[in-house]
Every structure is written in structure tokens, then in C-alpha cells.
Amino acid sequence: MKRKNGFTLIELLAVIVILAIIALITSPIVIGVIDKSRKEAFRDSAYGVIEAGRIYYLESVADTNAFTGKTFDLSKGELKLSGEKPKEGTLEIKDDGKMILMMHNGNYCATKSEDKETVEISKLADGKCEIQENNSGAQTIRDMGVVTSGDGLYVNEPNLGGGHVFKGTNPNNLLLFDNKCWSVISVEDNDEIKIIYEGEAADSTICTRNGDGGSPGTWQWNASNNWHDEDLSVRSKLEGIASGQRWNDFKKMTRLDKVSDHAWNVGAVTVDIYSGGSIQELLEQEKNGKDPSWSTEISSKWNNKLGLINVSDVVKSSTSSRCTSGVWGTMIGAYLPDICGNESYLVKNYAYWTLNAVTNGNVAASSGNASNSGYLSNNFLGVRPVLYLNSDVEITGTGTSADPFVVA
């Protein structure tokens, strides 16, 4: 019997089932793409509001030179905007030009706090769009307030790495972590906290800054202390600590889960400020600098949980005008304290290694014997581990010796 053209019921059902499966698989993907596109479009609108606020601020300052701040109701069209208009929201412009944004379009919420440059986008919940309180350790430190002179917490300009840095001989930056005393070097823009070892804590509630000690180990070198040597003792010991080992007086760390993995800048530094160099150039060389003795295959990055201090950390921690103005004098063959003075808590009465080699000369964060991680030395040099605490750590305290910051 000759079969008629067409599909059987079973064949049609099979096609329907296949199409249903394809729809089931692709629908979430398509919906996700659409959702992401709408989210990013709203983010662009939020940055458009901020840009409009920036223009308003600059024009107001130019006209009056005495801007006292203003808050715009974005739903009333008080600010000239392009792109998607928010359903509700406010933009507050502070007298110094900093802005606080809260707005939504019925689906998404866009917020930006005063101390952040980025806009956060989230799903609108209960019709409310509010800035979530930041309870991070980084915010606890920022809440101390910044200063522009003397000892304390300073804003670190974006061209110098951004975030905040501590400066001076005795700022309130002492911290207890893992039964050890540390000094906070900086609070990064991503909320990670950079700290340097001061010594083992003798008391669970008090922390002191170790002026003459605090070094967990020293070595006498009879050859080049090349950081890129796979068998280098300093490097291998730091990697051992990151694996939970004990090292001389530096007791085993038990809270490495609070420590970030980090890509350390170990580039060679050759900056000569007398010849027109700058702090920006120093930072760039720490990131990418090559010692002529290194092969071109050697990276200027090293990944580990623990590292050492960078030369730029010492420069940025000083309140000396010679450092802050960039008029240092040559680094070649000089001690950092001679260059920047002793106006930094990072300057000690003993020498300790930095991460960065200096071609044709010596440099170390020290007021004693100067040396570096790239050249011959017969001196006993200290090693002070440095690490970055995770951005989500919680911290209490005020950073003083009697009330140090404490990592929860």
C-alpha cells in the first residue's frame, strides 16, 4: 500500500518535544541576555546623571566660586538628562563636588556612595532604592577621617594608585591580626587592606610599633639576592608562610583565609629624581621594570599571599616635603631615610628587604644599612612580611596602641 505524504502523529509529537526542549534550554539564556542589556542600559543612564551633576557643579563653581551643595529630585526633571529617565531618585552634590546617587526605573536600583566612583546596580526590592551601609574593615578605617597634614590617613591620588595611605611617624594605624602586631599601610579602592608586620603580640588587646625589632628573620648573603632566583631564601620562606609554615620568630599563621592572593610588583627601580624622574615613574617601574641582569622572560609580577614592602610604600608614607614633592635626590647609592627623612613609621633602626631591586645601587626601607633585593650584600637584613587582608574582613578599634584595629 502506498504511503500518503505527511507526518505521522508520533513524528509530529517528536518534533514538538524537541522544540519544547530547545525552548527550555534557550529561554533562560535569551532572558538573561535581555536582562543584562537592560541592566547595563540603566547603568549607562546612571553615569549620565552623574556626568550631568558634574557639569552642574563645575558651572556653579565657575559662576559663584562658593558652591554650598545641592540635591536634585530626578523625577521632576530638575537636572538636564539624556537617555532613560529614572522613575524616582535623588542626586546629592556636596560642596566639594562629591556625589551621592539613589535612583530606580521600577526594575533596577542604581546607587553611588560619596566615597565611591562606581555605580552599583541591583534589583529593586520593595520599591525602595537605598545605599547599603558598608560595614567592611576598609570603611571602619576610612571613617577615621582623612587629614592633609601631620600624622594620619591621607587620600592617595588616583595617579599614585588611589585609595588611602597612612603617613607620618606615628599615625593611628596599628592592627592586631593572628596574634601579631601590624601597621596598616593602605586601604585600597577595592577595600583590601595592606599591612606590614611589626612583631608578635605580647598582649591580646595592646599593640606596639617595634622601632628596633619586629623582624622575623635575617640572612647573611654572600651572593646576589636576586628576587627572581627560584631558590631565594626570602622568597621561599614567604611562600612557606603562605602554606602555613612557621619561620624563625614569625609564628605560624592560622588565619590565612583572611588574606588575599596578590600579584606583587617586583620590577627593578632605576628612577633618579634629580634627572627629572617622578613618583609615577617609580610606580610604573615597580610594575614593569627590568634589571639588565634579568632575562627578558622574567616577569615583574609574583603571585603569593605574603610579600614584602615596595619602595613606593615608603615614599608615600613620608610627610617630608622632599618625598611628597618628588624632589628626592638620586636613589642610586642612597638610603631612603636620607632621601625622605625619618618622617615615616616605615623607617626603622634596622635594615629590611624591599621587593624591588635597584640597578647600579642600593635602596631599602631602613635608616640603617641600605640594601635591596637584587644586589650583593654582606649585611644582616630583616624581613617584614606584608599582606593584603580580604575586602570583606570586619575590623573594630581606633588604631592606637591601647585600642588597635582588631580583625574579627
Whose CA is closest to 192, among 146, 141, 241? Answer: 141
Cβ-proximal residues to 380 (8 Å cutoff; 6+ apart), any chain? 218, 219, 220, 351
For the chain, what is the total number of helices (H) and then of strands (E)?
7, 18
Domain ranges of the chain: 9-123, 139-407
- Give the integer Cα–Cα distance in Å for 386 and 130: 36
pTM comes to 0.65
pLDDT of residue 183: 95
Say if residues 362 and 268 touch (Cβ distance below 8 Å): no
Per-residue pLDDT tens for 159-198? 788 899 999 999 999 999 998 999 999 999 889 999 999 8
Q: What is the pLDDT along the chain (408 residues), one digit of tens a residue?
A: 555 566 788 888 888 888 888 877 877 777 777 788 888 888 888 889 999 998 988 888 887 777 888 999 988 878 877 767 788 889 999 888 889 999 998 888 988 888 777 888 888 877 778 776 666 889 889 888 899 999 999 998 887 888 999 999 999 999 999 989 999 999 998 899 999 998 888 777 888 887 544 455 554 443 334 566 665 567 777 887 877 777 666 778 889 999 999 999 888 776 554 455 577 777 888 888 766 555 555 677 888 999 888 888 888 888 887 665 544 433 433 445 455 667 888 877 666 777 876 554 334 433 333 333 333 343 456 678 899 999 989 999 999 999 999 998
pLDDT at 60: 86
First to last CA, the chain: 84
* Other beta carbons less than 10 A from residue 158's beta carbon: 10
Q: State the pLDDT at residue 294.
A: 55
The pLDDT of residue 293 is 57
What does the buried/exposed string (b/e) look like for 257-275 if buried means 16 or more CB atoms within 10 Å of the residue's CB? ebbbebebbbbbbbbebee
